[in-house]
Amino acid sequence: MITDHSNILADLSVGVPDPVMEGSEVKLICNNICPSLYNPTMIWRKNGQDLPVHQTNNNELIFQSVSIEDEGHYSCALKQHEDHPSRPVELNVMFPPRVPSVSVSPHSQTLEGASVTLTCSSEANPPVESYTWFNRNGSIVSKLDTGKYYNIGNVSSEHTGDYYCEAKNLYGASNSTAFHLDVHYAPRKLSASLNHSGKIAEGSSVTLTCSSDANPPVENYTWYRRTTAETVHVGTGERINFNLTSDRAGLYHCEAHNSVGSLNSTGVEVVWAG
């Protein structure tokens, strides 16, 4: 039997498969054990700390389903010769991209005319090789661009929609969940309409309607009547109703308001036939 254990123990080495894929069964093997040693007892270490015996199978360290939590530097040594371990080897676990996340900058509400940047992020080993951006409109998916960042300058309501990214590396690809870009803008395409044409008989029911495109939707509509002398507030709401009298004739307009801004319509004339 060889008695110079220090020389033999210094030759211990750990065999690691390559590549090591997440979820696979992996065996680390302690090699170069002196053949003259009968049934030697091995000690395994991770990052310099002894591993529990129940995790080892003597000269093999077995991972039934290896994960990134198992990553580290491993070494082996013969029991009672712990001061002569093998050289540590790194267990590096490979995995395809995790489900990416999408973030937007600036983080506040997206206003029409602003510049918006979408960022795609994913953890992977090896790191993500490529990011690809897509837009989904109903069942139609359009490829937009490649890269970790996707910039939209001078954003408009036409950019409202669902965006997602694909992250890819050597071992696979993964798509993010859809990010809904909601572009906010002040009221526009504002119009006021009247349920009559021409002159209106006294006592007739008059309905004025205000409509507008806005995002977020219009919070309130305000109605005004303009005469030769002044402009007066006459009501609120998308519609106003009244029975016509001579003092209610005049030029009416509405104002639409949301959190972004406000807009006045052109006037609609209510003509008394008396």
Q: Which CATH number fits domain 101-181: 2.60.40.60, 2.60.40.10, 2.40.50.140, 3.30.230.10?
A: 2.60.40.10
Question: What mean pLDDT is predicted for residues 147-162?
Answer: 94
Nearest to 224 by CA among 272, 271, 270, 274: 270
Residue 32's pLDDT is 77
* Section 77-106 average pLDDT: 92
Superfamily of domain 186-272: Immunoglobulins (2.60.40.10)
Spell out the CATH class of 5-94: mainly beta
Q: How far apart are alpha carbons 244 and 260 in whole angstroms?
A: 35
Q: Which two tokens stand for residue 74?
A: 């491993």
- Give the Cα separation of 213 and 156 in Å (integer): 13
List Cα–Cα distances, 102 to 31, 84, 99, 178, 182, in angstroms. 46, 49, 10, 8, 14
Residue 168 is predicted with a pLDDT of 98
Confidence of residue 166 (pLDDT cuts 50, 70, 90): very high
Contact predicate 201/183, CB 8 Å: no
- Per-residue pLDDT, averaged over 124-141, amounts to 94
User: Do 125 and 95 form a contact (C-beta atoms < 8 A)?
Assistant: yes
> Which residues, 6 or more positions from 42, have their beta carbon under 8 angstroms from its beta carbon?
30, 33, 56, 58, 59, 76, 77, 78, 79
Q: Please indicate, yes or no, whether the overall pTM of this predicted structure exceeds 0.85.
A: no
pLDDT greater than 60 at residue 7: no
| CATH 2.60.40.10 segments of the chain | 5-94, 101-181, 186-272
Model confidence pLDDT, tens digit, residues 21-53: 999 999 999 887 766 566 678 889 999 999 886
